[in-house]
Amino acid sequence: MGTFPPDSSKKSILLLIGAWVALGLFGHGPWKPDEAYSFGLVFHILQSGDWVVPTLAGEPFMEKPPLFFITAALFVKLFAWALPLHDAARLASAFYVGLTLYCVSKAAKTVNAALLLVACLGYVQHAHLLITDNALVAGIALGLLGFSCTLEKPKLGGILLGTGAGVAFMSKGLLGPGLLGLTALALLAFPAWRSKAYLKSWAWALLAVAPWLLAWPWLLWQRSPALFEEWLWVQNLGRFSGTHEIGGTPDHWHYVKALPWFALPAWPLAAWTLFENKSLLKTKPEIQLPLTAFLVMFVVLSASALARQLYALPMLLPLCLLAAASLDSLPAWLRRPLDAAALWGAALLALAAWLLWVAWLAGWPPGVAARLTARFWGHVPALNAVVVVIAFLLTMQWLYLACKNTLAVRWATGVTLLWGLAMTLWLAPLDYGKSYDGVIAGMQRARPPGACIAARGLTEPQRAAFHYYAGIVKLPADADCPLLLVHTSSAKAPAVEPKWTLRWNGARPGDDDREHFWLFSSSAPLPRRP
């Protein structure tokens, strides 16, 4: 993974990164919005074996190619004997995040790049969710590693670049290979990249990427030309141009506003690297590559009609490569405030997390405990010895590593501590309000076994959750079912035909005014309970 900080052992750094990767993968249901529908696509593959057409609760879902969902399904098949299906599926995220960290370290030739990526505030939550963007980021990281090799080893670099572009393509469509392709062209602006070796690497990259670009689209076209066109023109080009508004925010300044916190602590370190090397930019390919990649990503993503913070994840990679390049030469005026923020920020927030959790568990002070109970929708805390031991060990790890005089280690271990406390002490109340299993269990108690349910107005995450927990799939509009499930965006009962009688209604904790579910029964006789 490259060189390690001189004042930290390799074993302790790898243990830190391993703990960061593992924390938050297990012990909670698929969270809305992205995890819920992602697992729905995985669940379809597990049930049907069909990986060509991504399908969500019985309906084709052509937003993304299936590589990440196939990977998750394979992990489920391997580990379903030991883990709940959704926890086993999240191992796919761990796989792709691990690949990303490895590629970033190799490209930078130092593990500090991976530590800075671990520390980025915008990366930590997304890296632990069941989302295809983790595979996209891994593909781009592999592509950047390929770029870093092309001038000295054009064959290896080209193969890595092409494979990375292929992984990115099969994860999220045209965006990933487009970013890498534009970066490849933009690098020609520098004399060092206008070489025969670099151009030779392009040929190897094209050979490596060709199977990825052709195989699945051809299979999809053979299955359904209409679905192929929806994927290509609506979900890829239409989403970027804005001709089809599908999620996201129509704000071209979105990333300018988000990156100052999303990319912390990488961006001030990257800025220092550029300032320190401003006179050497024309002669340092190791600086030219991440700078060019970041500028391409920033311009392209900002030009898109729709923006989300999630879409900014690829930009963290070149920023961390730049940031790692000058860690050893940071001036005191920059290093000291970043060190202090890492040390005291983690210390104060971790202390607050422990004290609030103890107060809630003990019920004292009563006012604090009551506010926490109200904030977490009536959840009743319980003592879990395993959880407390893990949280304690994370705190001890932080105390040991925080004294190390390395900025990257301090930030990484501080973020790991705070994320770890959230995913141990506070995981149960968070899951109580973010997953659908509780409200669906309530509906199931009011549903006669085996009774057919028609559904109206369910969003994509809701459809996935009801399919997973209750076996409800999309039915034809004229389906003759004795039960009807309706979703509304308020607690006001929906208008339905006179034949329907309310049988049950409910919502996730704290969601009464946003997501409410209503189960109606018709006048037709319902199956009897056994």
pLDDT of residue 124: 97
Q: Which residue has the higher pLDDT, 378 or 51?
A: 51
Evaluate if residue 239 carries a pLDDT over 80: no
> How confident is the model over 194-210, as a mean pLDDT?
96
As a whole number, mean pLDDT of residues 52-80 equals 95
- pLDDT at residue number 405: 67
Mean pLDDT of 77-84: 96
**Cα–Cα nearest to 255, from 296, 295, 301:** 301
> pLDDT for 390-406, tens place per residue?
999 999 999 988 877 68
C-alpha separations of 268 from 26, 320, 327, 383 in Å: 33, 10, 11, 41
Q: What is the pLDDT of residue 392?
A: 96
Quick one: pLDDT at residue 530?
A: 40
**Are the C-beta atoms of 258 and 122 separated by less than 8 Å?**
yes
Taking the C-alpha atoms of residue 355 and residue 368, their distance in angstroms, rounded to an integer, is: 11
pTM summary value:
0.94
Cα gap 208→206, rounded to integer Å: 5
Q: Which pLDDT belongs to residue 6? A: 67
Classified as helix, coil or strand, 135 is helix
Q: Measured between alpha carbons, how far is 356 from 133 in angstroms, rounded to an integer?
A: 33
Lowest-pLDDT range of 113-127, 235-249, 346-360:
235-249
Distance of CA 127 to the CA centre of its chain: 5
CA 456 vs CA 33, 479, 527: distances in Å: 18, 12, 22
What is the pLDDT at residue 524? 57
Give the pLDDT band (50/70/90) at residue 278. confident
Determine the pLDDT at residue 341.
95
Residue type, 149: C
Distance CA 145, CA 114 (A): 13
